[in-house]
Amino acid sequence: MPNLIETYARCTGLKIDKPWLKEDFFPVSCTKFITLSAGSGQAAKNYDYFQHLVDLLNPVLSPLGINIIQLGDDKTPLLSGTYDLRGKMNIAQSTNLIRRAICHIGVDSWSAHASGALKAPLVAIYGTTSSIIHGPHWKNQSKTILLESHRNGKNPTFGAEGNPKSINLIQPEEIANSIFKILELPNKIDKKTFFIGQMHSFSIFDVVPNSVQLPNLSLDIPFSVRMDLEFNEQILLAILQTGRKVTIVTKKEINIQLLTAFRQNILSYNHEIDISCPTTYPSQVKSLIPNSIFFSREKDSDVLSKLRFYFFDHVNIEQVNYSTRSDFVRESASYLNKSEEEITKLLDNSILSGILSFKTNKFILSNGSVYLSYSDLASGTSKPDFGCHDSKVTDSELFWRDLQHYYIYEEATKS
């Protein structure tokens, strides 16, 4: 299968020759650096887990004095732990920086082709496109690694959009180890990613309103007040009086006067509704807080239909189900391109041997303590502060509920 430029040459009758790239010097304070381009013109080409990659790279690269410089426009999300040059350079300046880098990391975009044409060390990743067709025509063969998604055995779609995105099936540790190989470093990431939830990158603070001892966090950080776990309007009031923005999750009706007084502080209102709720209450709430959701976790379709009919003139009731162990097995099977039977066996063995861990940016605050999952809360397994993000996977219904907030991985076994 020919590279795209070979197809263009054949169709136009033009000769393929070495390209000339305009370069302009751009000063940076670091002497050794990797350049990283996280964005492209198509959403399907953009890898969502670059932050995981940076988190794996920096502990190895930083002691060696190697920085990661993020290129691209200012619409590309900033990656923590990088030297931010998004939107600060033109293409000629970016090209010069890629030439000076000890390695370039990127998706299928102009920067990967520029790196190849410059014969610079390159690690590029491909999902919706093919590395054979869309990879750089010019490249340093011994210093180029092109990683392609397994796509669950399917062909590339070449589409601008994708759901789920096939490029996200590439594991962060595979990219990190490819970079170490290019740089001729002896390091290797031995952990194995099983699953990365769609909500993992978002920082969430669930506050159970059971204590007046609130965490000392900036007022710019919103709280999710879990009135469904403990209904306490006095503590909700105390939180709102600080001026903090909140999301409310509840199973009971909250005093309308309280909601009215602080509606500007309420980002969203989420009510798990049942037949005991007065029919006029949802309309009152929606008139105060436009971003209001009324939902049910009822699985019986007949019961759910009756509930929806009861509130038909007032509110639409969404069906929301908790994530389960089965959801993890199914999604992990797709991620690793294995059968569900294989994943179930891997899961059981990893949990038994204590090597399956998870990382989360969702914190549960209860009685002045910090927890990383509701199963940890139930067992009283707290963390000392918000700097702790990792804990062991617990095979329980409470744990799997927050699956989409987890990065689940297998730790390397110690010999």
H or E element that contains 300: none
Tokens of 179: 């970079």
As a whole number, the mean pLDDT across the chain is 93
Cis peptide before 164 (omega within 30 of 0): yes
Span 141-151, average pLDDT: 94
Burial 333-349 (b: 16+ CB within 10 A, else e): bebbeeeeeebbebbee
Quick one: 38 exposed, middle or buried, by C-beta within 10 A (0-12, 13-18, 19+)?
A: buried
Q: What is the CA radius of gyration of the chain?
A: 25
Picking from 350, 347, 373, 369, the residue whose alpha carbon sits closest to that of residue 360 is: 373
Task: Parse the chain into domains and list their residue ranges.
Answer: 4-189, 192-272+322-415
Out of 158-162, 198-202, 234-238, which region has the weakest mean confidence (pLDDT)?
158-162
How confident is the model over 350-368, as a mean pLDDT?
92
Q: How far apart are CA 307 and CA 317, in angstroms?
A: 8
Pairing mode, strands 406-410 and 192-196: antiparallel
pLDDT on residue 411? 81
What does DSSP assign to residue 255?
A: P
The pLDDT score that the predictor gives to residue 415 is 39
The CATH number that domain 4-189 falls under is: 3.40.50.2000
What are all long-range contacts of 366-372, with beta carbons under 8 Å and residues at least 24 apart? 366/208, 366/210, 366/211, 367/208, 367/210, 367/211, 367/213, 368/211, 368/213, 370/215
Per-residue pLDDT at 413: 56
pTM to 2 decimals?
0.89
